[in-house]
């Protein structure tokens, strides 16, 4: 199984809502990532978890809050987002933070209204 | 110095033709160069990757050419097919891993039947 599964696939939320994005992998990978991708742009790294600990936060606003409950799961909690936060949010995993191939999920298409 | 410059921005090729996408980098500490393929509404998927100790790597119809002295690398798609129509991202990272991938801006490839 080389899949990274993200739910939901689509999400529409108001600026006062609280929602969560979920990511799961069963490849035994020990590093997991959140990326944000705007239309016609490359993915931008947001957070890296290595061995369930946050190792990189790319100066992401606090309205985005990551959580790694265990080595297979990664969540992104969303609160008080702005319309400009609308994007495709991608989860990825690698075997270890210095290992090679990154496997990406299909993403969650988020629209903030 | 962290940038990866990718060209062209878009490319139209006839079926059976050769598609060529080029990338250039400045940071000589980069030592892992993957190419990702992304279809609309999907996450990026690793296509092929190369390390600086080889000048060329071929997998099926896809070939990476790497010029360490020029700090350039390119993707060649031989016998391009309509199913290859997608956005292609080159990327680079340090220390042999995918922890902090620096992506190029992407090339939208269209292969006409």
- Interface contact A106-B41, CB threshold 8 A: yes
Query: Given this model, what pLDDT does residue B105 score?
Result: 97
φ/ψ of A84, rounded to 5, equals -70, -10
Contact present, A73 and A24 (Cβ < 8 Å) = yes
- Interface contact B45-A99, CB threshold 8 A: no
Contacting residues of A for B106, CB less than 8 Å apart? 40-42
Tell whether A100 is within 8 A of chain B (Cβ).
Answer: yes
DSSP string, A6-46: EE-SEEEE-TT-EEEEEEEE-S---EEEEEEE-TTS--EEE
Contacting residues of B for A96, CB less than 8 Å apart? 97
CA separation for the pair B110, B26 (Å, rounded): 29
DSSP string, A68-91: EEETTEEEEEEES--GGG-EEEEE
Contacting residues of A for B108, CB less than 8 Å apart? 40
What is the pLDDT confidence band of residue B1, given thresholds at 50, 70 and 90?
A: low
SS3 B83: helix
Query: Given this model, what pLDDT does residue A95 score?
Result: 87
DSSP string, B9-66: SEEEEETTS-EEEEEEE--TTEEEEEEEEE-TTS--EEEEEE-TT-SEEEETTEEEEE
pLDDT per position as a tens digit, B26-71: 999 998 999 999 999 899 999 999 998 999 999 999 999 999 999 9
Residue A13: count of CB within 10 angstroms of its CB: 17
- Interface contact B99-A4, CB threshold 8 A: no
- Interface contact B49-A100, CB threshold 8 A: yes
- Interface contact A100-B105, CB threshold 8 A: no
What is the pLDDT confidence band of residue B79, given thresholds at 50, 70 and 90?
A: very high
Query: What distances in angstroms separate CA A38 from CA B12, B17, B21, B42, one per listed residue?
Result: 23, 30, 22, 13
Contacting residues of A for B109, CB less than 8 Å apart? none
Q: Which residues of chain A have pLDDT under 70?
A: 1-2, 97-99
CA-based nearest distance B16→chain A, Å? 26
**Lookup: tokens for B14:** 């006839």
CA-based nearest distance A84→chain B, Å? 19
Query: Given this model, what pLDDT does residue A98 score?
Result: 66
Query: Given this model, what pLDDT does residue A99 score?
Result: 61
Query: What distances in angstroms separate CA A106 from CA A5, A21, B12, B27, B104, one per listed residue?
Result: 7, 12, 26, 30, 20
- Cβ neighbours for A59, distance < 8 A, ≥ 6 positions apart: none
pLDDT per position as a tens digit, B85-108: 999 999 998 876 667 889 999 999
């Amino acid at each position: 199984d080389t899949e990274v599964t993200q739910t939901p696939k689509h999400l529409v939320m108001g600026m006062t809502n609280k929602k969560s994005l979920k990511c799961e992998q069963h490849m035994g990978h020990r590093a997991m990532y959140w990326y944000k991708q705007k239309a016609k742009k490359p993915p931008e790294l947001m957070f890296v978890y290595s061995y369930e600990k946050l190792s990189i936060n790319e100066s992401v606003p606090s309205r985005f809050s990551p959580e790694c409950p265990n080595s297979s799961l990664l969540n992104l909690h969303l609160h008080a987002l702005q319309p400009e936060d609308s994007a495709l949010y991608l989860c990825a995993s690698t075997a270890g933070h210095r290992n090679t191939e990154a496997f990406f999920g299909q993403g969650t298409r988020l629209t903030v209204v | 110095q962290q940038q990866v410059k990718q060209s062209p921005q878009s490319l139209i090729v006839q079926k059976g033709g050769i598609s060529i996408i080029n990338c250039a980098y400045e940071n000589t500490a980069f030592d892992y160069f993957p190419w990702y393929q992304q279809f609309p509404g999907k996450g990026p998927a690793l296509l092929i990757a190369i390390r600086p100790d080889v000048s060329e790597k071929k997998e099926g119809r896809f070939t990476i050419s790497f010029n360490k002295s020029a700090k350039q690398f390119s993707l060649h798609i031989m016998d391009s097919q309509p199913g290859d129509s997608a956005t292609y991202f080159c990327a680079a990272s340090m220390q042999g891993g995918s922890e902090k991938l620096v992506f190029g801006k992407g090339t939208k490839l269209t292969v006409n039947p």
